Amino acid sequence: MRNAVVEVLDVTKTYPGGGARALDGVSVAFAAGTFCAVMGPSGSGKSTLLHCAAGLDRPDTGRVVLAGEEIGTLREPRLTQVRRRRVGFVFQSYHLMDSLSVWHNVLLPQRLAGVRPDRGWAKDVIRRVGLAGREDDRPARLSGGQRQRVALARALAGRPEVIFADEPTGALDLATGREVLQLLREAVDGLGATIVMVTHDPAAAAWADRVVFLADGRVAGELAAPTADLVAARMTAVSAR
């Protein structure tokens, strides 16, 4: 894949004491400007893949190339520096700073990176996720869906090469989850963002351009132009194996 933003090549990862390999020779690439979902049953290694691909964890063997830079062998704090410049995150549990307002949460990664924050863009992004006027509120006063929107705004505000989303709708109700997925979709279509999303929900995966299936630490096929039904059928097959 020529314009891959993230390339994972033959990555293995075993957690200490974990026994079986969480990742067992996984190779996968994520193209720029696309929305890709990673699916698999529990324990299939999908979160481990995301952590390795995002530079949150280091693979035992194999390579991870993020935006042209080999990050599999990078050490802290260099890894953090690459990550905060190139990567945005959206987590199931938001990981927002309770002590900071929405506005400061959104600007936090850039501040930490020592970059002069692009305030205009940040305002724009907050408006796009539908939180205009809530900039001075604390996350604690927001609903779950609103918090996830803050997280997304924060990920977008830094104009990262790729946004990793780990079960972004996991803690949300159906309607709110759909709104968040809609926003992710719009970020890819309207803003040209690249999103890699780990999920176990076929309905959520259906919002992606492409779905990669994992089972027992290996890639178990993929699906382009997914629908919820197709994904569900494929998941059943993967889980049954």
Task: Report how far residue 55's alpha carbon sits from residue 116's, in angstroms, rounded to the nearest whole number.
Answer: 24
Non-local CB neighbours of 210 within 8 Å, separated by 6+ positions: 34, 35, 36, 37, 222, 223, 224, 225, 226
Least Å distance between CB 7 and another protein? 22
31 or 56: whose CB is closer to another protein?
56
126 or 220: whose CB is closer to another protein?
126
79 or 228: whose CB is closer to another protein?
79
3-class DSSP state of 37: strand
Interacting residues toward another protein by CB under 8 A: 47, 51, 56-57, 76-77, 80-81, 83-84, 89, 91-93, 95-100, 104, 108-109, 111-114, 138, 140, 143-144, 154, 158, 166
Task: Report how far residue 156's alpha carbon sits from residue 151's, in angstroms, rounded to the nearest whole number.
Answer: 9
Least Å distance between CB 228 and another protein? 25
Least Å distance between CB 143 and another protein? 7
Least Å distance between CB 234 and another protein? 27
168 or 226: whose CB is closer to another protein?
168
**Torsion sign over Cα 75, 80, 86, 92:** positive
Which spans in 87-173 are helix H? 102-112, 119-128, 144-157
